[in-house]
């Protein structure tokens, strides 16, 4: 700016005024400065700008696993929405590790980002919530609900219940969930199964996804003859389950039903095409970003926004 000021015979603050365009400047000077800036391909220094007030036009985005198509897509939508509003994102991957998540919140403070969008790992932990609230930037939670924080999410428990209904209606009589037993979707799934009379421990199991999954799945499947359905905590698990079942010669959906979660892109092309639960990623991302920007641009205490989105059952060939 000083350089441009020198070249155009005005003061440096005047250059600033022209380039930011929010103050009145004589048209003649204005043109001269703009021309000079263009000629020298001037780019403002975002650091110097940010050093002043809090406006870095940087958003921190924290996801749990970017290599999962669902989150990759989410990150993409967030980035697009942010860019449309002149913000850039600094991205972090927690890998479901609270240590990384904590580390990231420090990075975020270092760069004085204007706001944070996070897929939390410990959204139910009061310590985490308190820590986040002490941060002096607005934090918005996406895809998961964190009480007391702005949250944009689909209700996993309700989605789980929808899955239960669907599977029961399709005639499946015993159920396996692949994932963690404290996962909201399992909680809702199990509750609904119980309500409809399928709450037996015998007909209702949880398996974590790991190397032994094939063996365990096989044992579970052949331990009973009732028609079996598998609810995978995400589409990636579902993909693996389909492969295992094929290996075992179990036909889907006849002998076993399989349903995933997130409705990632590949699902509609799998063989058999995968039933799944779809989340409105695009609108979630957009609304969350807009809400966050609104909080950034109009600071001050405000009641926590709680915005649930409807999940949608996408029924294809696997159930």
Residue 14 binds which of its own copies, DNA, none (CB < 5-8 A, kind-dependent)? DNA
With CB under 8 A as the contact rule, the residue among 270, 274, 289, 296 that binds its own copies is 270
Question: Min. distance of Cβ 110 from its own copies in angstroms?
Answer: 4
Judged by CB under 8 A, the stretch of 18-26, 161-169, 266-274, 297-305 that binds its own copies is: 266-274
CA torsion sign for 178, 179, 180, 186 is negative
Give the other-Cβ count within 10 Å of 193's Cβ: 25
Contact 200, 223 (CB under 8 A): no
What is the rounded distance in angstroms from the CA atom of residue 272 to the CA atom of residue 270? 5
Binding mask 183-222 for DNA (x = CB under 7 A): ----------------------------------------
Residue 29, contacted partner among its own copies, DNA, none, CB below 5-8 A by kind: DNA
How far does CA 99 lie from the centroid of its chain?
19
Q: Which residues on neighbouring strands pair with residue 51, listed in sequence order?
A: none
Segment 31-60, which members bind DNA (CB under 7 A)? 42, 44-45, 48-49, 51-53
Q: Which residues, numbered 86-115, are part of the site for its own copies (CB under 8 A)?
A: 88-93, 106-107, 109-112
Q: What DSSP state is assigned to residue 214? A: H
Q: Which does 17 bind (CB under 5 to 8 A by kind): its own copies, DNA, none?
A: DNA
Q: Which is nearer to DNA, 5 or 314 (CB)?
A: 5
Question: 244, 220 in Cβ contact below 8 A?
Answer: no
281 preceded by cis ω (within 30°)? no
Contact pattern for its own copies over residues 40 through 79, marking x by CB under 8 A: ---xxxxxx-xx----x-x------xxxxx--xx-xx--x
The least distance separating DNA from the CB of residue 61, rounded to whole angstroms, comes to 24
Give the side-chain half-sphere CA count within 13 A for 202.
7
Sign of CA dihedral 284, 290, 293, 295: negative
**Cα 105 from Cα 234, distance rounded (Å):** 26
Identified binder of DNA from the candidate list 1, 116, 245, 288, rule CB under 7 A: 1
207, burial (CB in 10 Å: exposed 0-12, middle 13-18, buried 19+)? buried
Angle at 231 between CA 229 and CA 233, to 5 degrees: 165
- CB-nearer residue toward its own copies: 23 or 88: 88
Closest approach, Cβ 88 to DNA, in A, equals 16
Cis peptide before 76 (omega within 30 of 0): no
Q: Which residues contact its own copies (rule: CB under 8 A)?
A: 43-48, 50-51, 56, 58, 65-69, 72-73, 75-76, 79-80, 88-93, 106-107, 109-112, 236, 239-240, 242-243, 246, 265-266, 268-271, 273
Q: Which residues contact DNA (rule: CB under 7 A)?
A: 1-2, 9-14, 16-17, 19-20, 23-26, 28-30, 42, 44-45, 48-49, 51-53
């Amino acid at each position: 700016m000083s350089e441009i000021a020198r070249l155009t015979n005005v003061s440096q603050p005047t250059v600033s005024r022209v380039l930011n365009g929010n103050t009145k400047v004589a048209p003649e000077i204005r043109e001269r400065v703009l021309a000079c800036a263009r000629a020298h391909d001037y780019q403002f220094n975002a650091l110097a700008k940010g050093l002043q007030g809090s406006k870095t036009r940087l958003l921190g985005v924290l996801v749990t696993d970017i290599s999962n198509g669902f989150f990759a897509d989410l990150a993409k939508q967030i980035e697009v929405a942010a860019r449309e509003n002149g913000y850039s994102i600094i991205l972090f991957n927690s890998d479901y590790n609270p240590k990384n998540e904590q580390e990231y919140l420090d990075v975020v403070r270092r760069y004085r980002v204007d706001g944070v969008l996070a897929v939390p790992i410990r959204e139910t932990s009061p310590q985490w919530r308190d820590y986040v609230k002490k941060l002096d930037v607005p934090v918005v939670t996406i895809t998961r609900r964190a009480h007391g924080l702005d949250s944009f999410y689909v209700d996993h428990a309700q989605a789980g219940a929808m899955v239960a209904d669907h599977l029961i209606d399709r005639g499946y009589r015993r159920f396996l969930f692949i994932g963690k037993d404290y996962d909201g979707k399992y909680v809702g799934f199990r509750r609904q199964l119980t309500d409809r009379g399928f709450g037996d421990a015998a007909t209702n199991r949880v398996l974590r996804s790991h190397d032994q999954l094939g063996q365990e799945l096989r044992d579970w499947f052949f331990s009973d003859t009732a028609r079996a359905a598998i609810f995978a905590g995400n589409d990636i698990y579902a993909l693996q389950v389909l492969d295992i079942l094929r290996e075992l010669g179990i036909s889907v959906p006849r002998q076993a039903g399989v349903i995933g979660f997130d409705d990632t892109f590949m699902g509609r092309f799998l063989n058999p095409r995968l039933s799944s639960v779809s989340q409105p990623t695009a609108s979630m991302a957009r609304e969350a970003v807009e809400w966050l920007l609104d909080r950034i641009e109009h600071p001050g205490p405000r009641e926590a926004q709680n915005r649930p989105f409807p999940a949608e059952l996408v029924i294809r060939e696997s159930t």
